[in-house]
């Protein structure tokens, strides 16, 4: 489980970030701070893997807080989530080792993409004693040159398998309905709802599917639809 701290002075934005993290499997919000001083207190009491950090805050700015973390050699990662879009701020954050930089307002799909990429990198670095050049290139976002389409193969996130992904793809393509839910797909594929949910999250993150939250009677339901123009985005994983 990846332990997350949210540092955001706007309570509504902090609540939204917490809600977004709650929709991601494998992440847990350990605490939320409205300023750097509060964040320092949480770090003193809790083990944190990832900080979701705003820049414009009272007291120390997010950049100053990030610089302090690096000077103290704190063993954690930071994703900036902020309205600050100035080039100088972005360059400074990246030079201080920010894992990603999200500019408000943003869609959940972009937030999901950032956390899925972080999760993939986190497990690659924590689960292995050694790492290959290809895996390092993947961590750094470098694309592997392909001689032919058959050599351009991407690794799936941890916990997903090619065989199950192919099964789910076949079921999606065979469905008559343009829109479907997790339960409907799980029933058609004869795969557990929990497992199907992981694959649907992945397919949404790469843009193969569009995810929508529908409110009706009872709990909200996530519904999905195929994005035909993005069908090719799945090919490197099959």
Residue 202 CB neighbours (<10 A): 21
User: Does position 103 have pLDDT exceeding 60, yes or no?
Assistant: yes
Give one word for 31, left, alpha or beta, with left for phi > 0 and alpha for psi -120 to 50: beta
pLDDT of residue 154: 75
At 199-228, the pLDDT tens digits run 999 998 888 898 887 776 667 788 898 888
The rounded percent of the chain whose pLDDT value lies above 70 is: 89
Q: Write down the residue that tokens 């469905």 correspond to.
A: 175
DSSP 142: P
In the β-sheet with 100-103, what is the strand arrangement from edge to edge? 27-33, 2-7, 50-53, 77-82, 100-103
Start-to-end Cα distance in the chain: 27
What φ, ψ does residue 95 adopt, rounded to 5°? -65, -25
The arithmetic mean of pLDDT across residues 182-186, rounded, is: 91
Task: Give the mean pLDDT of the chain.
Answer: 86
The answer to whether domain 2-140 has CATH 3.40.50.2300 is yes
Question: pLDDT category, 121, cuts 50, 70, 90?
Answer: confident
pLDDT of residue 147: 39
Q: Confirm if 117 and 101 have CB atoms less than 8 A apart.
A: no
pLDDT of residue 149: 44
The arithmetic mean of pLDDT across residues 89-93, rounded, is: 90
The span from the CA of 87 to the CA of 68, in Å, is: 21
Ranking 170-179, 212-221, 224-233 by mean pLDDT, the lowest is 212-221
Closest by CA position to 117, among listed 92, 134, 140, 84: 140
The arithmetic mean of pLDDT across residues 181-208, rounded, is: 91
Enumerate the domain spans of the chain: 2-140, 162-237
What φ, ψ does residue 63 adopt, rounded to 5°? -65, -45
Q: Confirm if 45 and 18 have CB atoms less than 8 A apart.
A: no
* DSSP codes of every residue in 148-178: SGGG--PPPPTT--HHHHHHHHHHHHH-SSS
Do domains 2-140 and 162-237 share one topology? The answer is no
What is the CATH T-level fold of the domain 162-237, as seen in this structure?
Arc Repressor Mutant, subunit A (1.10.10)
């Amino acid at each position: 489980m990846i332990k997350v701290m949210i540092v955001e002075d706007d309570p509504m934005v902090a609540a939204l970030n917490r809600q977004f993290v709650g929709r991601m499997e494998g992440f847990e919000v350990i605490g939320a701070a409205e300023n750097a001083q509060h964040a320092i207190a949480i770090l003193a009491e809790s083990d944190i893997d990832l900080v979701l950090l705003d820049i414009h805050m009272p007291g120390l700015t997010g950049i100053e807080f990030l610089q302090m973390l690096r000077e103290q050699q704190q063993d954690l990662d930071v994703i900036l989530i902020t309205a600050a879009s100035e080039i100088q701020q972005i360059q400074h954050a990246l030079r201080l080792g920010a894992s990603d930089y999200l500019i408000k307002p943003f869609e959940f799909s972009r937030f999901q993409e950032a956390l899925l990429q972080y999760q993939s990198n986190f497990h690659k670095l924590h689960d292995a004693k050694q790492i290959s050049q290809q895996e390092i290139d993947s961590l750094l976002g470098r694309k592997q040159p392909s001689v032919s389409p058959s050599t351009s193969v991407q690794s799936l996130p941890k916990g997903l398998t090619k065989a199950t992904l192919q099964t789910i793809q076949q079921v999606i393509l065979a469905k008559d309905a343009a829109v479907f839910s997790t339960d409907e797909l799980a029933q058609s594929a004869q795969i557990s709802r929990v497992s199907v949910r992981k694959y649907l999250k992945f397919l949404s993150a790469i843009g193969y599917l569009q995810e929508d939250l529908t409110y009706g009677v009872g709990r909200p339901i996530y519904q999905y639809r195929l994005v035909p123009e993005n069908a090719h985005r799945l090919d490197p994983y099959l």
